[in-house]
């Protein structure tokens, strides 16, 4: 009853005074505006926060995508640069490959064995100059019995370094599968003084001219042994032979062993049988006739790898 009266009294007071009605309306209106303003503020603040969060996410995604693309580009660039190095000189790392590629030459490697990959371009089709440079290199005598002193000369303008070629030839003649295994032939590389023979690497036309003067037809393709000269055809030295399946370094060993074999008295030999190693004194460039390509006169056990003599 008391609550109703108060309520009734309040309503009368409210309705009985015009000024009180306007003042109350303004207060209610003000409160509604404040509430709406508060809600708008909260909505606006929320929108700003959301926009910031979305912007940050987009920026992060954008940056992440950029870094990924850059990484991929760098990886592709590294692969493209490393690929030629790994192809040219396989190794466990591009840098090792680059170092090997840059230092490869005909000179002996750290293992004592010559490399067969020249570090520069050699054009064996280029006409020869006819002038030779003697390698400034010498070494210890190898083998027993008669020691033959030899020099290495390279035709100028071929692109082959005389000293590097000399070291490679020295390594071939000192190999335990070479002629020194026979126990009565030895060799020594010299750069000056008297010598028993010269190994000359020359362009095909120069080889043809020198060999042709002795009545030998090398037709721009093969080597010869004439006078005191072992003439090595630059084409064969650089490219090997289509009949020889081994690397060019092995074919170089065959060239030297074959021609020096003539120098110490060996004639041509034929294939001893299908599947057997071709003799070093066989003219393997003309076909293997069932034999297996081989560059050495002896095997690793000291057995001579010969065949029937060719008349």
Share of the chain above pLDDT 70, in %: 61
Q: 284 and 244 in contact (C-beta within 8 Å)?
A: yes
Taking 90 as the threshold, does the pLDDT of residue 40 lie above it? no
Q: Residue 250: inside a domain, yes or no?
A: yes
Cβ(310)–Cβ(269) below 8 Å: yes
**Number of domain units in the chain:** 1
Q: Give 213's Cβ-side CA count (13 Å radius).
A: 10
Class of residue 31 by CB neighbours under 10 A (exposed 0-12, middle 13-18, buried 19+): exposed
Residue 215 lies in domain: 132-264
Residue % of the chain over a pLDDT of 90: 58
pLDDT of 214 above 50: yes
Average pLDDT over residues 119-144: 87
CATH code of the domain in which 191 resides: 3.40.390
Backbone φ, ψ for residue 15 (5° rounding): -80, -30
With bands split at pLDDT 50, 70 and 90, how would you rate the model's confidence at 124?
confident
- Residue 278 has what pLDDT? 98
148: which 2 tokens? 């033959």
More confident residue, 120 or 236: 236
Tell whether 105 is covered by a domain: no
Spatial CA neighbour of 268 closest among 211, 207, 259: 259
158-167 burial, b at 16+ Cβ within 10 Å, e below that, comes to bbbbbbbbbb
Establish if 63 belongs to a structural domain: no
What local confidence, expressed as pLDDT, does residue 228 receive? 96
In a domain, 199, yes or no: yes
Q: How far apart are CA 94 and CA 122, in angstroms?
A: 25
Report the pLDDT averaged over residues 72-79: 30
pLDDT, average across residues 66-82: 31
Contacts of 87 by beta carbon, 8 Å cutoff, 6+ apart: none
More confident residue, 248 or 89: 248
Predicted pLDDT of residue 68: 36
Please tell me the predicted confidence (pLDDT) of residue 281: 98
What average pLDDT does this structure show over 274-290?
A: 97
Asked if the structure places residue 311 within a domain, the reply is no
pLDDT for position 120: 55
Strands 229-233 and 197-202: parallel
Judge whether residue 222 has pLDDT over 90. Answer: yes
What are the pLDDT digits (tens) for 263-273? Answer: 999 999 999 99
Q: Is the pLDDT of residue 143 over 60?
A: yes
From residue 292, how far is each of 100, 239, 280, 299, 303 by CA, in Å? 31, 19, 11, 13, 16
Please provide residue 82's backbone torsions phi and psi, each rounded to the nearest 5 degrees: -75, -30
Asked if the structure places residue 277 within a domain, the reply is no
148 part of a folded domain: yes
Cβ(293)–Cβ(282) below 8 Å:
no
Q: Which of 30-39, 115-124, 230-239 is the most confident on average? A: 230-239
Task: Give tens-digit pLDDT for 180-212.
Answer: 999 999 999 999 999 999 999 999 999 999 999
> How far is Cα 53 from Cα 188, in angstroms, rounded to an integer?
83
Question: pLDDT-derived band of residue 105, with 50, 70 and 90 as boundaries?
Answer: very low
Per-residue tokens: 282: 């066989």
49-63, 74-88, 123-137, 269-283: which has the highest mean pLDDT?
Answer: 269-283
- The residue ranking higher by pLDDT, 152 or 36, is 152
Token digits for 108?
A: 């002996």
Residue 289 covered by a domain:
no
């Amino acid at each position: 009853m008391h609550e109703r009266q108060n309520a009734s009294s309040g309503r009368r007071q409210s309705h009985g005074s015009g000024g009180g009605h306007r003042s109350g309306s303004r207060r209610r209106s003000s409160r509604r505006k404040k509430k709406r303003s508060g809600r708008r503020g909260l909505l606006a603040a929320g929108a700003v926060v959301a926009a910031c969060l979305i912007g940050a996410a987009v920026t992060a995604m954008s940056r992440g995508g950029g870094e990924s693309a850059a990484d991929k580009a760098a990886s592709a660039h590294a692969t493209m640069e490393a690929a030629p190095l790994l192809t040219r000189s396989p190794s466990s790392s591009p840098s090792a490959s680059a170092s090997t590629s840059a230092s490869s030459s005909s000179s002996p490697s750290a293992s004592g064995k010559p490399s067969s990959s020249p570090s520069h371009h050699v054009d064996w089709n280029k006409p020869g100059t006819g002038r030779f440079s003697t390698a400034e290199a010498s070494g210890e005598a190898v083998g027993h019995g008669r020691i033959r002193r030899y020099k290495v000369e390279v035709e100028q303008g071929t692109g082959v370094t005389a000293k590097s070629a000399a070291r490679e030839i020295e390594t071939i003649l000192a190999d335990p599968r070479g002629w020194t295994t026979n126990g009565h032939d030895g060799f020594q590389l010299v750069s000056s003084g008297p010598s028993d023979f010269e190994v000359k690497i020359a362009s095909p036309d120069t080889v043809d001219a020198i060999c042709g003067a002795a009545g030998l037809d090398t037709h721009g393709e093969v080597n010869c042994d004439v006078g005191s000269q072992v003439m090595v055809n630059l084409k064969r030295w650089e490219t090997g032979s289509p009949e020889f399946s081994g690397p060019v370094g092995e074919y170089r060993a065959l060239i030297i062993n074959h021609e020096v074999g003539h120098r110490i008295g060996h004639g041509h030999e034929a294939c001893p049988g299908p599947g057997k190693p071709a003799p070093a004194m066989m003219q393997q460039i003309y076909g293997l006739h069932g034999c297996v390509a081989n560059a050495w006169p002896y095997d690793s056990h000291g057995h001579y790898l010969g065949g029937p003599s060719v008349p």
